[in-house]
Amino acid sequence: MEDGRKPIIQLIDVVKFFKQQKVLDKVSLTVREGTTMVIVGGSGQGKSVLLKHMLGLLKPDEGKVLVFGMDMAGISKKELKEVRQEYGVLFQNVALFDSMTVFDNVALPLRERTRLSEAEIRTQVEEKLAMMDLEGNDEKFPAQLSGGMKKRVGLARALILNPRIVFFDEPTTGLDVTRSNEIYRLFYKTQAQLKYTAVIVSHDVPKIFKLADYVALVAGGKIQECLTPEDFQLSENPAIKSFVKETMGPIYSSEEEEMGFYEADQR
């Protein structure tokens, strides 16, 4: 996949063990500036672990993670902080600050990282919350929100500082179809505006493909292949083929087959 755009994140032969379990086995992946990389794969295959390497939260046992050409394992605390100032992150479990209100959660990056006045912060936060359809929930605590609402608060918090790179771990899991469509439209719009680079982990295949410039499948501790969505669906790689068949099968199969599929379930 030749592409003129500058690589921003490069994983080079990353190996990661948890005790005896080899989760990542020589994973290499390049994310280029201004593109959207979608990472798909079965549950427990190491997608979130992969993402945490890019965030610098986990260190590879072997291999390298380069962000802006700097080795995440070798840089100083200060440089790491500078790299992360460009990040906007949504964790899989959202990780909202549970003793702060929704408003304070979204306002925190502004309060700690900028010198804006409280009034300016209020306008910006209200705007982001409105974008996520969360008006009137400012004073609630995370424990008082539904799962999908938490995701949306997390997204608002991740986007509040207009980051250059965003990492979303399953941004639409737990959202209804309308909402997730809206979120996708929003991603599309904001990316067109802000030109950020995005790394999105998602199970929402095939819908997420519309957003993707590249799709990478994680299976068996490896990136099976990293292709454009069109090529991905036509790939001859057996792992990708079976993934595509599993996830997109029912849509393309005839109605009878689908009936059979559900009836088999009921029996």
Partner 1 sequence: MGIFLFHCFLGIIKPPYKIGPVIRQINFIGARSLFVILFTGAFTGMVLALQGYYALRKVGSEGFLGSAVGLSLIRELGPVLTALMVVGRAGSAICAEIGIMRNSEQIDALECMAIDPHKYLMAPKFLAGIISLPLLTFVFDVIGIFGGYLVGVGLFGVNEGAYFQGMYSSVDWRDIHMGIVKSLVFGLLIIWIAAAKGYFLHYERSGGFGAEGVSRTTTNAVVLSSVTILVWNYLITAILL
Residues of this chain that bind partner 1 (CB under 8 A): 52, 55-57, 81-82, 84-85, 87, 89, 91, 93, 95-99, 108-109, 112-113
47 binds ligand ATP (CB under 6 A): yes
Binding mask 68-107 for ligand ATP (x = CB under 6 A): ------------------------x---------------
Question: Which residues between 83 and 112 bind Mg ion (CB under 5 A)?
Answer: 92
| Measured CA distances, 83 to 47, 68, 69, 80 (Å) | 21, 8, 11, 5
Name the CA radius of gyration of the chain, rounded.
19
User: Toward Mg ion, which CB reaches closer, 48 or 190?
Assistant: 48
Dist CA 178 CA 45 (whole Å): 28
Exposure of 236 by Cβ count < 10 A (0-12 exposed, 13-18 middle, 19+ buried)? exposed
User: Toward partner 1, which CB reaches closer, 112 or 256?
Assistant: 112
Interacting residues of 96 by C-beta distance below 8 A, sequence separation 6+ = 102, 105, 142, 150, 153, 154, 157
Exposure of 81 by Cβ count < 10 A (0-12 exposed, 13-18 middle, 19+ buried)? exposed
User: Toward ligand ATP, which CB reaches closer, 18 or 188?
Assistant: 18
User: Toward ligand ATP, which CB reaches closer, 40 or 134?
Assistant: 40
The one of partner 1, ligand ATP, Mg ion, none whose footprint includes residue 193, by CB under 5 to 8 A per kind, is none
- Pairing relationship of beta strands 87-90 and 165-169 according to DSSP bridges: parallel
When binding is defined by CB under 6 A, the residue of 2, 4, 43, 119 that contacts ligand ATP is 43
When binding is defined by CB under 6 A, the residue of 11, 14, 49, 208 that contacts ligand ATP is 49
190 binds Mg ion (CB under 5 A): no
Q: Which one of the spans 5-13, 42-50, 56-64, 245-253 is the region binding Mg ion (CB under 5 A)?
A: 42-50
The one of ligand ATP, partner 1, Mg ion, none whose footprint includes residue 233, by CB under 5 to 8 A per kind, is none
Contact 33, 197 (CB under 8 A): yes
User: Toward ligand ATP, which CB reaches closer, 53 or 157?
Assistant: 53
Interacting residues of 13 by C-beta distance below 8 A, sequence separation 6+ = 26, 27, 28, 62, 63, 64
